[in-house]
Amino acid sequence: PAPAGLLGEPEPEEAVSDDSSRHGGRVRGFPHERGNWATHVYLPYIAQEEFLELLELLVSRARSYVPSLAAMEEFHLSLSQCVVLRYHWIEPFVRSLRERLAAFHRFFCVADQVKVYTNQNKTRTFIGLEVSAGHFQLLELVSEVDGVLEEFDLPTFYKNPSFHISLAWCVGDLSGRLEGQCLRELQDIVDGFEDSAFLLRIQWEQIRCKSGNKYFSFPLR
């Protein structure tokens, strides 16, 4: 569906707060400005009970190295950076995405390699599961999403991306504590988890775009 208010109605108000204490100390990647809508294209992952059991084991072990780690509440694999769309761009942006992604079929990938990441300005650290199979199909999707971003003169995705599903995060650059021995222990947990080969072989069925508080879905064929 198109965002409410696009067809000639006034632009809706967005509730805005830059108080980082209200969301775990996270800092905006860019300042909020009225009419700017933070936008992100991604593959959603709906966690099953077994995945949440694995997550609990991983976070519990990692907290012995970084006690402030928090488990993610929702899971996804990014196909774009978080970019800024002007309000009146949302409808044509979504329409262009829908056209470019219409031909893609469902596919599998394997996300079973534990890796530590930081965001670009080093204000947050993440533990994620990196994709070890299915990279080519993901690159094809990113190529189409990048094409849409270029139409709107927006930043494209990272070169040589490390596709991953983030599992947990903390404020600050604490990658040094999580890499090395901690990372090896986390990988051992993943490798030894019952049915992990089946659990971490993921079929992607849809692509989503989130713009502000609006969600758009693009089913894969």
Asked about 164 being catalytic, the answer comes back as yes
Q: What is the pLDDT of residue 103?
A: 95
Asked about 40 being catalytic, the answer comes back as no
Whether residue 24 is predicted with pLDDT greater than 90 in this model: the reply is: no
pLDDT band at 185 (very low <50, low <70, confident <90, very high): very high
pTM for the whole thing?
A: 0.86
Q: What is the pLDDT of residue 105?
A: 97
> Considering the domain 35-219 in this protein, what is its CATH number?
3.90.1140.10
In the set 23, 32, 40, 76, the catalytic residue is 76
Q: With contact defined as beta carbons under 8 Å apart, do 167 and 58 qualify?
A: yes
Q: With contact defined as beta carbons under 8 Å apart, do 41 and 205 qualify?
A: no
> Which H or E run contains 40?
strand 36-45
The stretch 172-194 carries a mean pLDDT of: 97
What whole-number distance in Å separates Cα of residue 177 and Cα of residue 152?
39
pLDDT tens per residue, range 47-81:
999 999 999 999 999 999 999 999 999 999 999 99
Joined tokens for residue 54: 């694995």
H helix and E strand count, the chain: 6, 10
pLDDT tens per residue, range 139-169:
999 999 999 999 999 999 999 999 999 999 9
pLDDT tens per residue, range 111-135:
999 999 999 899 999 999 999 999 9
Q: What is the pLDDT of residue 194?
A: 92
